[in-house]
C-alpha cells in the first residue's frame, strides 16, 4: 500500500510529513525518556534490527488474493508492536519505509509521510493500543494472540486504506472519485488484512512457544531479564529473513497490489502523472539514491538475481539502520542518566 507522489498534492504531502515526523519524534522521546523503566531496554535493540529486516523481506512477497487479480503483502506494524511495543515498532517500521523509498524507489519521497502514517502510525500506535493489547491482556494465550492479531491487522489495514482515499480526495485527485475508490480499497484490503493477520498470528505464536517473555514484555513494558536467552530466536529470524528476501521473493505474485488494483479499476491506470517543481525535486532525490529501483539491477538484466540481491541487501541495511537507531537512542538515554546523576 505504498503511495506514490502522484497521488498527493504538495500541501497534503507536506502536512502528512509533519504529522508522521511528530509521531516519530514522540516515539523517540518515549523510548529514550524513561530511565528507570525504559520502553526499549538494550536486550531488545537487536530485535529492532532483525525483525525490521524480517518485515522488509516479508513486504517483498506479494501473495495473490484469489478471484480478484490482485495481490497484497504484509505491513508488519502489529507484528513489530507485539514484539517491541508501539513506540519502538513505529521507529523500526519508519526505518523500513525510508530504506524502501530512498534505495529501492518503493513509495514516493513526497508520499513518505503518508506511508509512515498509514502503514506505521495507524497499526503500531492505534490498532495495537486499541485492539491487540486489550485482547492479549486478558491472557497471553495462542487463542488470544491469534484473535488479537487478525482483528488488529484487519482494522489497521482498513483504516490505512481509508486514509489513502481521504488523502487522494484532499489532494484533488479527480481520477480517483471517493465513492468508487473507497468501494474498491476497503474490500480488497480487508482480504489482504485477513491473510496478513493469519501470518502475524503464526509468527507471534511461534515466538510465544519459543520465548513468551518477549510478548509479555511488550504488553507490560517490563524490562527483559538479562538471564533470558534470545539468541536462538534472533538467529531463527535472521535465517528466515535471508530465505524470504533472497529466495521466496522470487515467487512473489505478479498481480498489482491492492492500491494499484483499486486505481486501475477506478482510473484505468495505476500510473498517474503529476508535474511541478516539488514532484521533480522529490523524483530527482530518489533517482540519485535508489541504487536498485523496483528491487532489481538498474540495467534490468538478471531479474531473478536482482530481486534476490535486493532482498538480502535491503535486509542488511535495515538491520544496520533500525538496530543502529536503537543503540543510538540507548546511548543518548545513558548519557542523559549519567548527567542527571552527576548533578
d(CA 181, CA 204): 33
Residue 3: partners with Cβ closer than 8 Å, 6 or more residues away: 107, 108, 111, 114, 115, 118, 164, 167, 259
- Residues 203-219: tens digit of each pLDDT: 999 999 999 999 998 88
* Count of beta carbons in the 10 Å neighbourhood of residue 79: 28
d(CA 29, CA 103): 27
The closest alpha carbon to 230, from 40, 88, 42, 44, belongs to 44
d(CA 321, CA 119): 18
pLDDT of res. 189: 98
CA distances from 205 to 5, 96, 199, 218, 301 (A): 37, 23, 10, 14, 40
38 confidence band (pLDDT: 50, 70, 90): low
Sign (positive or negative) of CA dihedral 179, 181, 182, 183: positive
Assess whether pLDDT exceeds 80 at residue 332: yes
d(CA 257, CA 66): 13
- Write the CATH number of the domain with boundaries 5-342: 1.10.1760.20
Joined together, the cell numbers standing for residue 250 give 522470487
| Range with lowest mean pLDDT among 110-119, 221-230, 292-301, 314-323 | 221-230
The closest alpha carbon to 37, from 226, 220, 229, 230, belongs to 220
Q: Which phi and psi (to 5°) does residue 14 adopt?
A: -65, -45
pTM above 0.85, yes or no: yes
pLDDT of res. 55: 98
Assess whether pLDDT exceeds 90 at residue 341: no
H runs (alpha helix) in 290-302: none
Joined together, the cell numbers standing for residue 339 give 548527567
Residue 257: partners with Cβ closer than 8 Å, 6 or more residues away: 1, 62, 70, 71, 72, 73
Amino acid at each position: 500500500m505504498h503511495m506514490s507522489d502522484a497521488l498527493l498534492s504538495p500541501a497534503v504531502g507536506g502536512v502528512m510529513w509533519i504529522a508522521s515526523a511528530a509521531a516519530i519524534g514522540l516515539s523517540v522521546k518515549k523510548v529514550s525518556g524513561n530511565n528507570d523503566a525504559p520502553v526499549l531496554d538494550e536486550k531488545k535493540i537487536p530485535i529492532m534490527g532483525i525483525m525490521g529486516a524480517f518485515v522488509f523481506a516479508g513486504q517483498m512477497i506479494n501473495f495473490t488474493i484469489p478471484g480478484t487479480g490482485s495481490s497484497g503483502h504484509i505491513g508488519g506494524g502489529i507484528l513489530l508492536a507485539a514484539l517491541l511495543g508501539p513506540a519502538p515498532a513505529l521507529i523500526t517500521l519508519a526505518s523500513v519505509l525510508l530504506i524502501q523509498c530512498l534505495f529501492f524507489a518503493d513509495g514516493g519521497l513526497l508520499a513518505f509521510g503518508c506511508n509512515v502514517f498509514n502503514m506505521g502510525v495507524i497499526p503500531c500506535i492505534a490498532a495495537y493500543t486499541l485492539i491487540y493489547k486489550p485482547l492479549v491482556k486478558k491472557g497471553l494465550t495462542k487463542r488470544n494472540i491469534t484473535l488479537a492479531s487478525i482483528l488488529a491487522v484487519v482494522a489497521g489495514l482498513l483504516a490505512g486504506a481509508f486514509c489513502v482515499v481521504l488523502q487522494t480526495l484532499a489532494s484533488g485527485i479527480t481520477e480517483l472519485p471517493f465513492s468508487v475508490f473507497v468501494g474498491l480499497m476497503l474490500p480488497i484490503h480487508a482480504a489482504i488484512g485477513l491473510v496478513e493477520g493469519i501470518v502475524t498470528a503464526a509468527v507471534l505464536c511461534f515466538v510465544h512457544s519459543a520465548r513468551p517473555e518477549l510478548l509479555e514484555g511488550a504488553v507490560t513494558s517490563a524490562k527483559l531479564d538479562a538471564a533470558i536467552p534470545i539468541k536462538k530466536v534472533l538467529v531463527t529470524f535472521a535465517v528466515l529473513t535471508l530465505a524470504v528476501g533472497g529466495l521466496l521473493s522470487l515467487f512473489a505474485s505478479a498481480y498489482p497490489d491492492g492500491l494499484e488494483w483499486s486505481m486501475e479499476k477506478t482510473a484505468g491506470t495505476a500510473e498517474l502523472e503529476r508535474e511541478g517543481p516539488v514532484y521533480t525535486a522529490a523524483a530527482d532525490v530518489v533517482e540519485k539514491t535508489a541504487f536498485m529501483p523496483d528491487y532489481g539491477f538498474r540495467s534490468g538484466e538478471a531479474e531473478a538475481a536482482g530481486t534476490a540481491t535486493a532482498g538480502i541487501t535491503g535486509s542488511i541495511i535495515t538491520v544496520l539502520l533500525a538496530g543502529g537507531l536503537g543503540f543510538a537512542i540507548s546511548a543518548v538515554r545513558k548519557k542523559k542518566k549519567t548527567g542527571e546523576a552527576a548533578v
